[in-house]
Amino acid sequence: MMAHVLAASGGVKQVICINWGTRYGPTFINRLYAAVARNITPPFTFTCFTDCRDNLHPGILCEDLPPLDVEMPVNTRGIWPKARLWGPKLGSLDGPVLYLDLDLVIVASLDAFFEVGGPDDVVMARNQTTPFERLGQSSLFRFPVGKLLPLQEKFRADPQKVADEYEYEQRFVTRNAPGGVKFFPRNWVLHFRQDCHRPFPLNYFLAPRLPSGARVVLFPRGFHPQNAIEGKFGPRGRGETRLNHIKGVFDASKRDGKQPFRYLRHYILPTPWVAEHWHE
């Protein structure tokens, strides 16, 4: 099936990402590129659609952010600027492209992501946080350039209405992609918090695990691979001894509004396997 999929892109595995603003920047982009290069069989291309090309690895093909003349929704949890990728063109690319978020960690070969489905299919990772909903995960998905144009047109007509109805852009893609969506195997793309982090109280004694069969590990918003490497948690990147963390149960300000049990569950030890895979 891989030959069938790649025939639509000239035999080249096309990997893309998108970057805007200052939240991520060259460190994340360069590490993602390096991880792709280590875990893919050539030929391949790695294209970053970005508003800043400074300090990027010379192997990265840079393109301007695709135009999207709309006011982005407010007060929504979805990452709606990704809608720029749904246009009729993506730079010089044509055929199937594999999109990757900047903050994920690649732990095994990506070749198989070009083997599922056909060249005209939209294929998504399964969303692990909503097991009872048939929902795709837009942190990693494959689609043919131009296939999602109807979604962009619907979004452009009333961005706030679409965001209010669907909340997350991945739900919008899952439910509206022309011809429907297919899914990669569940164990290929894992969620660090759901699949790797140890349950309480084991999280105080064992580092997060890397399940066998995993190819990519996603990280929840605000928690980055470097946090896992260092054993830090929460949006403030706090790292503490077990005892000091447990003492925080009695300090509401230290818990950042979390209930005591949830606060205790979020503790992690340093995670060596993330460091092994997340580097240039």
| DSSP single-letter state for residue 7 | G
CA 246 – CA 266 distance, rounded (Å): 11
DSSP 218-256: E--TT--HHHHHHT-BTTTTB---HHHHHHGGG-TTTTT
* pLDDT tens digits in sequence order for the chain, 280 residues long: 677 899 999 999 999 999 999 889 999 999 999 999 999 999 999 999 999 999 999 999 999 999 999 999 998 889 999 999 999 999 999 999 999 999 999 999 999 999 999 999 999 999 988 878 999 999 999 999 999 999 999 999 999 999 999 999 999 999 999 999 999 999 999 999 999 999 999 999 999 999 999 999 999 777 899 999 999 876 566 667 788 887 878 887 777 778 888 888 888 999 999 999 999 9
Residue 228 identity = A
pLDDT in tens, 69-91: 999 999 888 999 999 999 999 99
Predicted model pTM: 0.94
Distance (Å, whole) CA 248 – CA 233: 13
State the Cα–Cα distance between residues 88 and 91, nearest whole angstrom.
Answer: 10
